[in-house]
């Protein structure tokens, strides 16, 4: 492949949601997260698709876990890219949700400064991370310098918002986002928590008794924004509540074609099956 020294290379991890074809078109390198289920480790996006993983997860009571790529994996990728790029921005899942940023920085240290690599914490995941990665790669493709791309992404990060309606409390209990007593009582009462992304953390925001009420809360969340530039729906299965959300959005934004995508194992391993989410980028 033709050398591209001087052009900043963008690296991310598989927790980012990238629209089909974007990674290839913008030459984005994606390193897989490790997803563990039933004694098997999958490379996210390599060994299993999102839909395949959701099917396997639905067939077991076991909760999956996620681990970051190894230092060796990250260092090997950086060495490989260094032959064609002298500047790399490695933009990853929130450091408050994963050790990926820490691992990436450790990998950079093994290269002893032979390549200029900046590891950036997106404070986001899924659609939010993917949107930042795509913006960085578009800027790089258009000839932006490394420091220009960094300023662009840092300016965008505070305008990314995400909220999820969660169906199963035991995932939040495992991540220590709710206390065990709250999880037990909430499960008995059929409570569905709303979880928001705040400063890179997923935090319980509100509780509802039914998914229908949860959908109304999601719509209320969207209504709070006066100037939305991007809006997307995240889901694991097209349910009646998903249809309710889309109907509500059609009334709010009749001229918008709101994208709907299936979130990946990185999200489902943290929030469980049937979590329904909204991602917003508010115009800066």
Domain 160-282, second-level architecture: 2-Layer Sandwich (3.30)
* Residue 24 neighbours by CB under 8 Å, 6+ apart: none
Question: What is the reported pLDDT for 248?
Answer: 94
Question: pLDDT of 107-144, one tens digit each?
Answer: 999 987 778 999 999 999 999 999 999 999 999 999 99
Question: What is the reported pLDDT for 274?
Answer: 83
What is the full per-residue pLDDT of the chain (284 aa) written as tens digits?
444 556 899 999 999 999 999 999 999 999 999 999 989 999 998 998 888 888 898 888 888 999 999 999 999 999 999 888 989 999 999 999 999 999 999 999 998 777 899 999 999 999 999 999 999 999 999 999 999 999 999 999 999 999 999 877 666 656 655 554 454 444 444 568 888 999 998 888 888 888 889 999 999 999 999 899 999 999 877 677 888 999 999 999 999 999 998 888 998 888 888 889 999 999 87
| Residues 158 and 121 sit within 8 Å (Cβ to Cβ) | no
Question: What is the reported pLDDT for 140?
Answer: 96
* Residue 78 neighbours by CB under 8 Å, 6+ apart: 11, 88, 90, 107, 108, 111, 115, 117
Half-sphere exposure of 24 (CA within 13 A, CB side): 2
Question: What is the reported pLDDT for 157?
Answer: 97
Question: What is the reported pLDDT for 179?
Answer: 54
Question: What is the reported pLDDT for 3?
Answer: 47
Domain 9-158, second-level architecture: 3-Layer(aba) Sandwich (3.40)
Question: pLDDT of 177-202, one tens digit each?
Answer: 555 445 444 444 456 888 899 999 88
C-alpha–C-alpha distance, residues 256 and 250, integer Å: 7
Buried/exposed code over 138-163 (b: 16+ C-beta within 10 A; e: otherwise): bbbeeebebeebbebbeebbebbbbb
Q: In this structure, what token pair is assigned to residue 274?
A: 């049937």
Domain map (residue ranges) of the chain: 9-158, 160-282
Question: What is the reported pLDDT for 22?
Answer: 96
């Amino acid at each position: 492949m033709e050398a591209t020294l001087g052009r900043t290379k963008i690296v991310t991890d598989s927790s980012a949601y990238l629209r089909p074809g974007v990674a290839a078109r913008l030459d984005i390198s994606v390193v897989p997260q490790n997803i563990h289920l039933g004694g098997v480790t999958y490379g996210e996006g390599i060994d299993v698709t999102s839909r395949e993983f959701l099917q396997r997860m639905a067939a077991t009571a076991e909760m999956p876990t996620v681990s970051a790529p190894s230092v060796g994996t990250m260092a090997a990728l950086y060495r490989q890219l260094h032959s064609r790029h002298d500047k790399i921005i490695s933009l990853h899942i929130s450091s408050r949700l994963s050790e990926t940023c820490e691992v990436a920085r450790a990998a950079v240290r093994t290269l002893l400064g032979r390549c200029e690599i900046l590891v950036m914490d997106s404070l986001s995941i899924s659609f939010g991370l993917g949107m930042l990665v795509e913006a960085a790669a578009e800027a790089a493709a258009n000839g932006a310098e490394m420091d220009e791309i960094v300023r662009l992404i840092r300016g965008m990060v505070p305008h990314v918002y995400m909220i999820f309606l969660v169906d199963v409390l035991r995932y939040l209990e495992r991540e220590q986002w709710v206390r065990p007593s709250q999880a037990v009582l909430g499960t008995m009462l059929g409570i569905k928590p709303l979880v928001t992304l705040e400063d890179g953390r997923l935090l319980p925001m509100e509780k509802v008794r039914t998914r229908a009420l949860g959908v109304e809360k999601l719509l209320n969340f969207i209504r709070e924004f006066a100037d939305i530039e991007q809006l997307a729906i995240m889901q694991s299965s097209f349910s009646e509540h998903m249809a309710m959300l889309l109907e509500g959005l059609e009334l709010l934004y009749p001229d918008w074609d709101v994208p709907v995508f299936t979130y990946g194992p990185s999200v489902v391993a943290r929030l469980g099956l049937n979590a329904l989410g909204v991602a917003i980028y508010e115009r800066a």
